[in-house]
Structure 1
Amino acid sequence: MAACAQQPTNEVGFGGQPPVPPGPVQPKSEQERVPVTEASVDASMLPKGYPTKVWTQDDGAVVVATGQEGGCSKVHAELGEQTADHVKVVFVEETPEPPGICTMDLRYPPVAVRLDAPLEARKVVLEQRDVKVPR
């Protein structure tokens, strides 16, 4: 009998939901977006021509921005830092190494980061970094 009592169970009990595993934040539909004004975005550290559209969702707890990727590369966002006056969002573009045969297109996917506290009046600082990843 003791062996039966020690078997792992997948039940949470009392009608609770299992915890959500941490992972990438998914952008939501246009109806759930709150635009961030251009005056509240510092894009001076981005390459020329990089998109600068930024919005929030989940009552300001998530910042979403338009990334840029192309060919074989993929972009995701990382939270660089959070202070009382700004939040830094880093676009990380991962490119396979060694390079293979890739298309010559550009894509602009939305990428998101979750904040510890709502954005409110803080400035969003955008930065971009290229990273080589093994193929």
Structure 2
Amino acid sequence: MLHDFFVNYTWWIILVISFLFIVLGHKFHIKGFDYSITVNGGNFFAYSIISILGFYLSIFLFKKLNSIVDISFASYFTYSIVISLFGVLSISWYLLAGMRRIKSISALPAWSYPIFLIVVGIVSNYIDDVLYLILVAHLYMIFAKNNE
């Protein structure tokens, strides 16, 4: 029963913990999780690519972990926590890269980036080819000039 809970709700838990890290990082000015630090387009591109690779690696590791037949619950729980922390860091860095870049190129609030990603993700379930909006937004964020 608990195993099914982890399999079904792991990514929602990871997303909530990522948002919690970002909020606490901004509130307590933790340098790694504070979105008020501005970045340029090249750093945004590097942070995005590295975090996307980490995200896909954590998906791959979760699939491998769930395909193991003979594993004890303690081992499964330990490995899933380690992979979840890797996923939390990857998703947090992805969101932070976009939030920092939005802050450096426009007057929009930084939280508009995760809201944009969530809305486009929900709409893409119903309308084909909407995910290209994320690609266009990323290309704009890479090549746009800073406000400074």
TM-score of the two chains, using structure 1 as the length reference? 0.24
Point out the structure with max Rg over C-alpha: 1
Is the helix fraction higher in 1 or 2? 2
